[in-house]
Amino acid sequence: MGTKEINLIEVDDLTKDYGHGRGVFDVTFNVKEGEVFGFLGPNGAGKSTTIRHIMGFSKPQKGQTRILGMESFGNYFRFLGDVGYLPGEIVLPEGLTGWEFLQMMGDLRNLHDNTRLKMLLERFKLNPKGETKRMSLGDKRKLAIVAAFMNDPKVLILDEPTSGLDPVMQQVFIDYIKEEKKRGKTILLSSHMFNEVEATCDRIAIIKDGRIVSMFDANSIKHNENKNFFIKFKKKDEFDKFLKLLPVSKKRKIKVSKPYINKIDKNSKSLIAYCNDKDINQLVPLLSDYQIETFSENKVTLQDYFMQFYREDKNFGGVF
């Protein structure tokens, strides 16, 4: 609209080699103001390492990370008030009750107004009465979430935020993130929960073995304009006839502007047709002349897309 898009989080060629192939290598991405950026990858892929660098806890070997324009390493105390951090491993200080912990976090951030805190507690249905040691995993996670959000920071960095929460609470969290986004917050969300990434993120990066292997707009998955339809015919002759109507392609990904047939199963008289939304009006009229037994869509979910990058490895022993 005229406002320059500011990158509140910048990661530039970040490299840190821990040996044995572990670490992050040449990681580059930016998170714009008001954007929710999803970081997807399994354990050990490098998500937490990247986040640690962004937060200024580790020093890069090569490259740089910046928050709010400041270099991360060495400036932690400067952006502490504006950044809410939710770490992946919840380790709460011992001997405190939930209230005491929240109070401590509030004091650390010079927070004096408790209204937001109260709202969060009610929203996430958390009663911070008990000792932190005795809390269930879910409650600990909620406590950490509340602590990260309570001073209403500009930037939120969330590492596995809903791990340990049940689906109801997950939904509460997702709704909350959506609201924060509406309020213009910038959020970096690292997770391996596909539903929450899918539901909240604008852009998604997939990290594998310390490198970013894919970065894309969430909509391209959610509202993927390229669709695959499963069509089963009632009659064999109609099936054969239809086969001749569209080109057949064996390859998985082709950028063509016309619908084509992906897979054929002669025995069940079914096929999978690929069609871009732009061309849907070519396909639909065709179908109206045939007797269709089944018409359904084969959706590619984020999970399917993600698994593509990893499945090859599994047969060779995988990450473990």
Partner 1 sequence: MEDIIKVENLTKDYGENKGVFNISFNVKKGEVFGFVGTNGSGKTTIIRHIMGFLKPQKGEIKVLGLDSWKNSCEIKKNVEYIPGEIAFPDLRDGTTFLKNQAELLGLADMSYANKLIEKLQLDTSANLKRMSKGMKQKTAIVAALMADKDIIILDEPTTGLDPLMRETFLDIILEEKSKGKTIIMSSQMFDELEITCDRVALILDGKIIDIADIKELKNLPYKLFKIEFLSHEDFIKFKKFKYKIVRVQEQYNQFTIQVDNSKINKLFKDLKNFKLKFISEVKKDLEKHFKEVLTEFYKKNDIVLKPTKSGKEDVKHDK
Give 248 or 319: the residue with its C-beta nearer to partner 1.
319
Degrees (nearest 5) of the Cα angle 54, 50, 45? 170
CB of 116 to partner 1, least distance (A): 16
Contact pattern for partner 1 over residues 174 through 213, marking x by CB under 8 A: ------------------x-x-------------------
Q: Which tokens belong to 278?
A: 């732009």
Alpha-carbon gap, residue 138 to 140, rounded angstroms: 5
Q: Are 86 and 145 in contact (CB under 8 A)?
A: yes
Alpha-carbon gap, residue 293 to 24, rounded angstroms: 50
Q: Are 136 and 92 in contact (CB under 8 A)?
A: no
CB of 253 to partner 1, least distance (A): 19
Contacts for 313 with CB less than 8 Å, ≥ 6 apart: 319
Contact pattern for partner 1 over residues 110 through 129, marking x by CB under 8 A: -----------xx--xxx--
Give 32 or 211: the residue with its C-beta nearer to partner 1.
211
Give 89 or 94: the residue with its C-beta nearer to partner 1.
89
Give 16 or 47: the residue with its C-beta nearer to partner 1.
47
Q: Report the DSSP beta bridge partners of residue 280.
A: none
Please state, in angstroms and as integers, the Cα–Cα distance from residue 201 to each residue in 72, 99, 272, 298, 299, following that order: 24, 32, 30, 22, 19
Q: Indicate the helix (H) or strand (E) that contains 85.
A: strand 83-86
Contact pattern for partner 1 over residues 268 through 307, marking x by CB under 8 A: ---------x--xx--xx-xx-xxxxxxxx-x---x--xx
Per CB under 8 A, residues contacting partner 1 are 42-43, 121-122, 125-127, 136, 138, 163-164, 166-169, 192, 194, 225, 227, 277, 280-281, 284-285, 287-288, 290-297, 299, 303, 306-307, 310, 314, 317-320
